[in-house]
Structure 1
Amino acid sequence: MGKLILAVEDRDRLVQTLSEQQQQYISESLIRGRRTVFANEMAKQKGFHIPEDTDAAQIELLLNDWIYTGYVDAGMVSPDLRCECGRPLRYQHRVEHKETGEVKHFGIEHLKEHLAIDSSVVSAIKKGFEAIDYELDELLIKRNSGWTQDPELLQMERLPDDVADHLRLGLPLLERQINRLRQIRAAAQSVRSTPKVEPRPIAAPVKAVEAPMDLFAWQDAVEEHQNQQKQQKQQEPPLWELPYALQEPTQRYLRGGMKSARIICELLISEHGGSDLRFLTGKPRLYLSVCSYIESLDGVRPETVGPEDRTYAIQQPASK
């Protein structure tokens, strides 16, 4: 389904046909979605590379300035809801400064004026908010038209939490959720259809023919050994080995409530001198060693495992 946009009156009318529980879930989803968009764009401005579906609370751990805390919908333009400039609003967005505690209220059009952030960031935030509105319209139109989901697509061991929530509440799935289910299903089918590789027979060892003795071979051997040592010093540690200096900060971040391996990587890079080498996707090369180290700790278990990030839960104080 392509992008759809309802007139405000039509959207309000369709929202009113939802149950109270459905409306509450959608309202919370809108706030969570906008909070994630806002945090992600603010983090990008600072040079961090964060997967789009990372939890907003985790992204906000990277920020020290404005965070999005919610919005109010008055149902119509109201003098009771005003922008910082005094203009009456229907939708009033609210942000809070992490360090000073200052709270600001504004209409989306005055985001740049009141927060003094770059215009490109403001544009990206607005586009992100619009995409969330498009998804609300998609959901409302699907529900109003009696749309149903292909039951075969739901046949999997464990459904993503947001998909399970939609099904539990009787809400249609969004196109991005359907695409994710297709990707999960395709990945599972690919694993099942991968043929097993039979081990090849080991060839019999070939008897070496002794060469004539070289009286100066010891000099070549010494030089080769010295060259190897020099190359080893210049090379970085293996990707799966987290440098010792980064191990304690990693444990500290876990104990402090950080779950995302990607967020921990960004902090190790910006705060502790971790390698800032990245893959073309923006993912830090440090990511593999961080995940490997975390999963070697006692009392830490993977909570979610995805292609872009892994999150972890601590069952007891992390220790090796």
Structure 2
Amino acid sequence: MLSPLVEQEVNRLYQLLNEAQISFLQDYIKQNKKSKWLESLARKKGIVLEKNLSSDEAWDKLNDWELQEILDGGYGNRPYRCECGMALRFCYIVRHRKENRTFRLGETCLGNYTLLSADLIKDIINGFHKIDLERDEILNKFELGWTPPLDYASLPLPEDIQKQIDAGLPLSYRQTNRIENLFKPELSRKRKQRELDHLTQLHVRKAAFTARQASQPASFIPPAERITYELVLSRHGEHLNQIKENELRIKNQVMLAKWENVQQMILNLQCHESFDYSGFLAEMFELLYNLDLY
């Protein structure tokens, strides 16, 4: 199982956020952990919680140990005390609703004081770690400059996700997967239409390029000029590098074959084998058009 980022790295990434973003993300993580506690306890007790139940109603139904709050003393600080006496950065405040008992505990003491079963505590802690991994994913994506897909712009997104986007925070894989499932037909239509529009644009560009080729002399270079590997790289190295940097975007099998052919032609030229310069140019520029690089 993957481990969450170390505390120092999480703190570094948090410093990239503004105060509103930090507050939003910390609250999101806290609420998810409370929900995980609730869900795990309900599942263990065999109680089905209806989706329309409020948090208080759900806890009234369970009438068991409630995770009331998660306190965070901040990076490098341990201002809280577990019931066992250990200094804590993260303090879990749990209350037994039926017996009205409250404990302030660290993660390792959750089972000792609540007497919840070891497998239940393990399930809860594993859930907490997954939530921390989601936090790490959001922070890493923020550092990398993640932006929401354009396809999502006109969708009536769930309120919590829209608020997260409005706060300038990335979505996790779990959240984007939720959107993809919620709006599968709409997103499929959008993407098919975009692909059709792109193909139409590509055909127009290709026709224009072909027309320009037809209006030029049969050879792009003086007959006396000798085509060498060095000459081609000096003229077209920048274009080839652009295609190379974007090759993962080439999805069309025909374009993939053309890119492989262009690379093979360059290798052949380097080995002083026959080289079709006009064919090379045609395929290279078609790739550039396809990738919107020209």
**TM-score for both structures, normalised by structure 2:** 0.59
Seen in structure 2, the aligned counterparts of structure 1 residues 78 and 186 have a Cα distance that, compared at 3 Å, is: closer
In structure 2, stretches of 5+ residues that fail to align are: 190-294
Asked which structure has the greater CA Rg, the reply is 2
Alpha-carbon RMSD: 2.8
Seen in structure 2, the aligned counterparts of structure 1 residues 150 and 79 have a Cα distance that, compared at 3 Å, is: closer
Q: For 1:13, what is the secondary structure of its paired residue?
A: helix
Between the aligned partners of 1:12 and 1:129, the Cα distance in structure 2 is 18
Seen in structure 2, the aligned counterparts of structure 1 residues 53 and 132 have a Cα distance that, compared at 3 Å, is: farther
Seen in structure 2, the aligned counterparts of structure 1 residues 54 and 19 have a Cα distance that, compared at 3 Å, is: farther
> 2:121 is matched with which residue?
122
Between the aligned partners of 1:154 and 1:142, the Cα distance in structure 2 is 19
Between the aligned partners of 2:150 and 2:57, the Cα distance in structure 1 is 34
> 2:171 is matched with which residue?
173
> 1:274 is matched with which residue?
none
> 1:140 is matched with which residue?
139
Shift of 1:101: 2.5
Aligned counterparts, 1:160-309, within 5 A: 160-188=158-186
Instruction: Report if aligned partners of 1:68, 1:94 keep a CA contact under 8 Å in 2.
Output: yes
Between the aligned partners of 1:48 and 1:189, the Cα distance in structure 2 is 36
Structure number with higher strand proportion: 1
Q: Percent of counterpart pairs with the same letter?
A: 28
Structure number with higher helix proportion: 2
> 1:14 is matched with which residue?
13
Between the aligned partners of 2:50 and 2:185, the Cα distance in structure 1 is 20
Shift of 1:91: 1.1
Q: For 1:110, what is the secondary structure of its paired residue?
A: helix
Instruction: Report if aligned partners of 2:33, 2:128 keep a CA contact under 8 Å in 1.
Output: yes
Between the aligned partners of 1:73 and 1:179, the Cα distance in structure 2 is 29
Seen in structure 2, the aligned counterparts of structure 1 residues 184 and 121 have a Cα distance that, compared at 3 Å, is: same
> 1:95 is matched with which residue?
94
Instruction: Report if aligned partners of 1:80, 1:88 keep a CA contact under 8 Å in 2.
Output: yes
Instruction: Report if aligned partners of 1:66, 1:97 keep a CA contact under 8 Å in 2.
Output: yes
Instruction: Report if aligned partners of 1:79, 1:89 keep a CA contact under 8 Å in 2.
Output: yes
Shift of 1:3: 5.7
Q: For 2:71, what is the secondary structure of its paired residue?
A: strand
In structure 1, stretches of 5+ residues that fail to align are: 192-320
Seen in structure 2, the aligned counterparts of structure 1 residues 53 and 77 have a Cα distance that, compared at 3 Å, is: farther
**TM-score for both structures, normalised by structure 1:** 0.54
Between the aligned partners of 2:126 and 2:81, the Cα distance in structure 1 is 22
Instruction: Report if aligned partners of 2:16, 2:143 keep a CA contact under 8 Å in 1.
Output: no
Seen in structure 2, the aligned counterparts of structure 1 residues 130 and 6 have a Cα distance that, compared at 3 Å, is: same
Between the aligned partners of 1:143 and 1:128, the Cα distance in structure 2 is 23
Seen in structure 2, the aligned counterparts of structure 1 residues 172 and 54 have a Cα distance that, compared at 3 Å, is: farther
Seen in structure 2, the aligned counterparts of structure 1 residues 51 and 37 have a Cα distance that, compared at 3 Å, is: farther
